[in-house]
Structure 1
Amino acid sequence: MRITMKREVFETLEDRALLEACIEPTIRQIRGKGLRLKREVYAGLTPGQQALLMFQVLYGHAHSEPEYYWFVSHYISLGVWPEVKAGMRYFGDEAMLRIYEKTEAAVEAKNRQPDGGWRHFAVMDLDGDAELAASVARLFARYHQAAPETIRRIGERIRSIPGEFAALEG
């Protein structure tokens, strides 16, 4: 679902506002819905919109170390983590991709069971595991520090190929 936006607005929005404007209608469409509908909507997006959505679903939820841990665990357990990483590849953000991969390794080490299954995870996991808590704290700090550059990079990409994200008027 591409948004329609006046060219003047598109060209003057700051990066963060541009990202939100381009993906918010999709987020409203899938918020609180089942995984099946979310997958259907995702499949109907352009590659750029898919990448933007996957960035936004983590960025929009991970405001603290526990949230970061929980949402990464959640997206891995749902099988959508590869799409989150693919979004960074789409935007050419190797630094954020490396952070994602290191976070994935830490989360997998805690939650992947010997049989390949996924253990029940909870925010409280950080309270009972000092090593995991320290690792997530380092990774979240790097994530938080890298996010402004990622947002700038995404904004630049949106502006370079606007038709991938929006229909411009005027």
Structure 2
Amino acid sequence: MSMVHLNRHVFNSLDEMSLGTTCFEPLIQAFKEVRMRGGDERTFYTGLSEGQQQLFIFRVYYDHVHHSPEELFWWSAYFLAQPLRWLALKSSFRVHGDDEAAGLLEEIESFLTASGYSQSLEIFDVSRSDMAENLELLNSFNDYYDRLQKHTEVIHQRLAQYIRSHPDEFVNLE
């Protein structure tokens, strides 16, 4: 299990975002090593604790989509094309977000599915430039993006609360 080493004072003094980032870093580094070696990503993920899984899937998604509506569109379609990832993401939003946060992902899923974007990776042909060519897509993802900003703040806070309540899943305290 990938964990960060921190002294108790630093652990207690980190704000929510910094705590999540600090605990996410060893996870994403371990994941990148697995990927570079051609290892089994699913085995990596299932080897994480439940809390680490929730943090990992949320942060992988968030770290890509928070940049722009175009990134939200592309990465949402990419995750949706991988049903297990999408389900894990929805679980993280449900557990650490609120009903509105989980509902937002459901809306995104419904919109993408109705628009023909719920493809598998084998036939994944989504481009960020699709938004420039489709006004409904542009308007929808601008709205989703604005709403996501509000919900992700709550998720960051709740993930940090979870980490503080279950430090043994994330941190080797010194």
TM-score scaled by length of structure 2: 0.86
Gaps of 5+ in 1: none
- The answer to whether the Cα contact below 8 Å between 2:71 and 2:128 also exists between their aligned partners in 1 is yes
Which among 67, 70, 75 is matched to residue 71 of structure 1? Answer: 75
In the other structure, the counterpart of 1:24 is 25
Residue 125 of structure 1 aligns to a residue whose secondary structure is: helix
Q: Aligned partners of 2:58 and 2:16: how far apart in 1?
A: 14
Q: Aligned partners of 1:15 and 1:139: how far apart in 2?
A: 23
TM superposition shift of 1:36: 5.2
TM superposition shift of 1:53: 0.5
Q: Deviations over 1:90-134 (max 9, x none)?
A: 325333211111111112222147xxx965211111111111111
Q: Aligned partners of 1:58 and 1:51: how far apart in 2?
A: 11
Tell me: CA distance 1:90–1:145, structure 2 relative to 1, closer, same or farther (3 Å): closer
- The answer to whether the Cα contact below 8 Å between 2:97 and 2:152 also exists between their aligned partners in 1 is no
Residues 1:152 and 2:144 aligned together: no
* Residues 1-170 of structure 1: pairs in structure 2 closer than 5 A: 1-31=2-32, 33=35, 37-62=40-65, 63-79=67-83, 80-91=85-96, 93-110=98-115, 111-112=117-118, 120-169=125-174
- The answer to whether the Cα contact below 8 Å between 2:74 and 2:126 also exists between their aligned partners in 1 is yes
Percent of residue pairs bearing the same amino acid type: 29
1:30 partner amino acid: F
Q: Deviations over 1:2-39 (max 9, x none)?
A: 22221111111011110011111111122382685322
Q: Deviations over 1:66-89 (max 9, x none)?
A: 000000111111221101111123
- The answer to whether the Cα contact below 8 Å between 2:77 and 2:118 also exists between their aligned partners in 1 is no
Q: Aligned partners of 2:111 and 2:39: how far apart in 1?
A: 28
Aligned residues: 166
TM-score scaled by length of structure 1: 0.88
- The answer to whether the Cα contact below 8 Å between 1:70 and 1:123 also exists between their aligned partners in 2 is yes
Gaps of 5+ in 2: none
- The answer to whether the Cα contact below 8 Å between 1:4 and 1:167 also exists between their aligned partners in 2 is yes
Q: Aligned partners of 1:40 and 1:27: how far apart in 2?
A: 14
Deviation larger for 12-21 or 117-126: 117-126
2:55 partner amino acid: L
1:152 partner amino acid: Q
